């Protein structure tokens, strides 16, 4: 009887493991290998014949000036989001219980994240528009000159980053909040009884205790900044010229506009490697401080 039950248990375990393993192999491992394979070919996305070109695509990626321009644009998103992380952390700390109607505020800060990215981009397109755009109309009320929010090479990436901040701040704050709420209340109360200021509590107790959340958010920041696509795609299509083209947008342009599926695959592999390297460096820095 006992043997039978054990056997059944094992069969169920094995069956349950095999299905996800097959799915993983089919939809993750196989496409990944296919991606690596295509990155060494000259496939144009249409023809049946695929030629092997060795590392030419990777050399092309590194030699292509527009790749570096797009990476610089990604860098702007990365730095701006990074600068906002302490602010997001502090807002989460305040929302923990210090603010009246904090639950309502939590809902409000989380709202932009659940709105569809394309809708957000369209919404901001109208805000930034040079013809009757809300922001320029507000500036006009104060007698200020209109700003070329998305049509000037100098401002376009900052305008787009602001949209990204607006959209993703909420999820960061909610994650920080979850981390802060996991800290024992006794520890925080003891610090306050000992006379620690809010800033001291925040820097000496809260931050060290939410390192794991910080690591996750830093990883999300690296991944998000390097993979940003929908906002520039909808709002500027990477323009004017290539001034707001991001790495992912350029990869898609290479694949579909210029029929370089091989080079686009190589760029996707480079992106993967960059995310792994940058995340590892960030993790090391945080671990050393621990």
**59 DSSP β-pair partners:** none
| One residue of 35, 90, 94, 129 binding another protein per CB under 8 A | 129
State the SS3 of the chain. Answer: CHHHHHHHHHHHHHHHHHHHHHHHHHHHHHHHHHHHHHCCECCCCCCCCCCECCCHHHHHHHHCHHHHHHHHHHHHHHHHHHHHHHHHHHHHHHHHHCCCCHHHHHHHHHHHHHCCHHHHHHHHHHHHCCCCCHHHHHHHHCCCCCCCCCCCCCCHHHHHHHHHHHHHHHHHHHHHHHHHHCCCHHHHHHHHHCCCCHHHHHHHHHHHHCHHHHHHHHHHHHHHHHHCCHHHHHHCCCCCCCCCCCHHHHHHHHHHHCCCHHHHHHHHHHHHHHHHHHHHHHHHHHHHHC
Q: How far is the CB of 267 from another protein (least distance, A)?
A: 13
Q: Which of positions 239-268 make contact with another protein (CB under 8 A)? A: 239-243, 252-254, 256-260
Q: How far is the CB of 152 from another protein (least distance, A)?
A: 7
Residue number with CB closer to another protein (3 or 186): 3
Q: Does 159 bind another protein (CB under 8 A)?
A: no
Q: How far is the CB of 151 from another protein (least distance, A)?
A: 3
Q: Does 46 bind another protein (CB under 8 A)?
A: yes
Question: Is residue 40 a contact partner of residue 57, using CB atoms and an 8 Å limit?
Answer: yes
Q: Does 116 bind another protein (CB under 8 A)?
A: no
Angle at 59 between CA 56 and CA 65, to 5 degrees: 130
Question: Is residue 171 a contact partner of residue 84, using CB atoms and an 8 Å limit?
Answer: no
| One residue of 28, 52, 62, 153 binding another protein per CB under 8 A | 153
Q: Does 160 bind another protein (CB under 8 A)?
A: no
Residue number with CB closer to another protein (236 or 246): 236
Q: How far is the CB of 174 from another protein (least distance, A)?
A: 33
Q: How far is the CB of 243 from another protein (least distance, A)?
A: 8
Q: Does 138 bind another protein (CB under 8 A)?
A: no
Question: Which region among 45-53, 81-89, 208-216, 267-275 touches another protein (by CB under 8 A)?
Answer: 45-53
Q: Does 56 bind another protein (CB under 8 A)?
A: no
Q: Does 162 bind another protein (CB under 8 A)?
A: no
Question: Which region among 2-10, 97-105, 182-190, 203-211 touches another protein (by CB under 8 A)?
Answer: 2-10
Question: Which region among 43-51, 81-89, 164-172, 183-191 touches another protein (by CB under 8 A)?
Answer: 43-51
Which chain residues interact with another protein by CB under 8 A?
A: 3, 6-7, 10-11, 14-15, 18, 22, 44-48, 66, 125, 128-131, 133, 146, 148-153, 236-237, 239-243, 252-254, 256-260
């Amino acid at each position: 009887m006992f043997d039978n039950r054990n056997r059944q248990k094992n069969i169920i375990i094995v069956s349950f493991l095999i299905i996800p393993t097959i799915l993983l192999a089919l939809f993750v491992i196989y496409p990944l290998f296919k991606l690596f394979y295509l990155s060494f070919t000259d496939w144009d996305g249409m023809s049946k014949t695929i030629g092997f070109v060795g590392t030419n695509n990777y050399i092309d990626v590194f030699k292509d000036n527009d790749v570096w321009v797009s990476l610089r644009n990604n860098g702007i998103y990365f730095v701006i989001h990074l600068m906002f992380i302490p602010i997001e952390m502090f807002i989460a700390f305040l929302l923990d219980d210090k603010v009246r109607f904090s639950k309502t505020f939590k809902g409000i800060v989380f709202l932009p994240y659940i709105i569809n990215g394309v809708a957000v981009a369209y919404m901001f397109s109208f805000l930034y528009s040079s013809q009757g755009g809300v922001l320029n109309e507000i500036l006009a009320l104060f007698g200020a000159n209109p700003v070329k929010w998305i049509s000037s090479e100098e401002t376009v990436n900052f305008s787009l980053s602001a949209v990204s901040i607006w959209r993703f701040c909420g999820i960061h704050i909610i994650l920080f909040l979850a981390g802060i709420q996991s800290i024992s209340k006794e520890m925080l109360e003891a610090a306050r009884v000992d006379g620690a200021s809010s800033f001291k509590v925040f820097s000496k107790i809260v931050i060290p205790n939410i390192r794991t959340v910080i690591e996750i958010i830093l990883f999300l920041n690296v991944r998000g900044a390097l993979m940003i696509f929908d906002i520039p795609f909808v709002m500027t299509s990477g323009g004017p010229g290539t001034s707001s083209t991001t790495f992912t947008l350029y990869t898609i342009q290479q694949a579909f506009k210029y029929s370089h599926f091989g080079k686009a695959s190589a760029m996707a592999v480079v992106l993967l490697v960059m995310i792994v390297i940058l995340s590892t460096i960030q993790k090391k820095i945080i671990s050393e401080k621990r």
